[in-house]
Amino acid sequence: MRTVNKADQVREKVRERILSGEFGRRGRLPSLRMLAGEYNISQETINKVIQVLQAEGWILSLGQRGIFVNMPRVRMPGLLKNPSDYVKELGVEPVEEYLEPVQVVRPPVEIVEAMKLGEKGLAVRRLRKFGIPNVIFRMSETFFPKPLVTDTMLKKMEDPHYDVLGDIKKESGKFIQYVHEDVLARFPTEYEENTLKIVRTNPVIDIKRTSYTKDKKTVLMFNHTVLNANHFLLSYDYPVTYWD
């Protein structure tokens, strides 16, 4: 049987206080010095407690502003036409920005194969982060087949909110009707830590999504999204035909 140490005991007590609503829905916790004194533990121990609570998603550390109760997880459908509009409906102001400029590239081999680009095919790449003020929910790398993206669309893509798929449908008549997803839970890379502003023990949800036309012959989009797992509950509805 595992022995419960002092840090574990304090973590459970602080978690219980958060769940009881003592600090409010998004309230500020006492300072680390105050918590250390309250539980008669060292600064090193309270730092460990806070790191684990942050990794578990109970709190947010905002530097000199202090430590705050994390907001409830966002229930996210599998594929959204406009994430910003969805978050606004939840009563939160969204922030969406590019991490790198939009580029026409030859993607890595995995993506070339998934998108059926052939030996010399090119794709348009977007790399964005999305969240709310002070919190980054996710980072997303998206590829579109270059033949389906006009020069006008490329110009419009300077706006991180621009709906590329909407204009692809208008220009070509092609739109998404079938999606394949691979979902993996893991720890973040160093780049993801820095971009999402999370600690190394904070889990992420890695989603690779290939979106096809109805006949599955044309890939309209390949998307690689890394979610801060502490903010998300993925929610899916789908038909089951096994017992038809």
3-22 pLDDT, tens digit per residue, is 568 888 999 999 999 888 89
The rounded distance, in Å, linking the Cα atoms of 155 and 98 is: 14
- State CA 120 to chain mean position distance: 31
Q: CA torsion sign, 138 to 141 to 112 to 220?
A: positive
25-34, 140-149, 151-160, 164-173: least confidently modelled range: 25-34
Q: How far apart are the first and last CA of the chain?
A: 47
- Per CATH, 6-69 and 74-235 having the same topology is answered no
How do residues 83-92 score in pLDDT, each as one tens digit?
777 777 767 7
Residue 31 pLDDT exceeds 70:
yes
The rounded distance, in Å, linking the Cα atoms of 77 and 56 is: 22
Total residues belonging to the chain = 244
Greater confidence, 239 or 126? Answer: 126
Q: State the pTM of this model.
A: 0.76
* Domain segments of the chain as ranges: 6-69, 74-235
The rounded distance, in Å, linking the Cα atoms of 69 and 58 is: 6
Cα torsion 88, 128, 157, 134 to 10°: value is 40
**CATH of segment(s) 6-69:** 1.10.10.10
Look at residue 84 in the predicted model and tell me its pLDDT: 77
Look at residue 137 in the predicted model and tell me its pLDDT: 86
Residue type, 32: L
Q: Three-class SS of residue 3?
A: coil
Q: Three-class SS of residue 167?
A: helix
- Name the percent of the chain lying above pLDDT 70: 93
Q: What is the mean pLDDT of the chain?
A: 88
**CATH of segment(s) 74-235:** 3.40.1410.10
